[in-house]
Amino acid sequence: MLVKIRKRTILSVICTLVLSASLLSAGAAQADPFERTASGWINPTNVDVNGNGRTISVITTYGKGAFGTSVSNSTTEVNDPDPTQRFCSPPSPTNVVIRLPLLARSTVTRFHNGDLLFATLDLDPLVSSALCVDISNQTTLSEVHMVITGGTGKFAGATGTLLITTNGTQLHFEDGLNVHSGITEFTEGEIFLNHYDDDDNDD
């Protein structure tokens, strides 16, 4: 009888541990949707941070989304024009469009409570990040795939993927070169958090 009780106890403990591990695993794998709508500007610079002869542009946007209001600062670097176009509109007699693939991008987003979220360009060859420049209409369109690489506060250890779609209008020129563009952007994706506080959603 004592042996049977011990066996039952052991089996009960094992089942409890398995169930707890399953619940923890399910909780750890829970993804939160990430959305952000923002506007701001992009400015080219003459800074070559990678020593490859290509200068970076600086992007600043202010927006609001699933985690409240935020300001985002990014640096981005583009490659030579790519004739494949992909998601860009094809050139036409009245619409000259060039596609510039992205080589690098890093972003730091600061939320209203001071928490930071870090993201960098997704280098997976199966995804395509690029800037489409409509020279005729002086407008731009970009699709940028990003990977979340952590942060501070509730974003410490965060992971996930984001897609940023941006529309821009060239606003100011100097010596025939664009030096300032106004942009609107929409970010969507999913984020995996190590811990989460509903109160952090409040503005």
Name the nearest CA neighbour of 165 among 148, 144, 183: 144
| pLDDT confidence band for 90 (50 / 70 / 90) | confident
User: What distance in Å separates the CA atoms of residue 149 and residue 156, rounded to the nearest whole number?
Assistant: 9
Sketch the domain layout of the chain as residue ranges: 1-30, 31-201
165-175 pLDDT, tens digit each: 999 987 765 55
Distance from the Cα of residue 90 to its chain's centroid:
26
- Which token pair is 157? 């250890």
Position 37 scores a pLDDT of 98
Q: Going by DSSP bridges, is the β-strand pair 68-78/97-111 parallel, antiparallel, or unpaired?
A: antiparallel
Mean of pLDDT values over 9-16: 49
In what helix (H) or strand (E) does residue 13 lie, and over which residues does it extend? helix 2-28
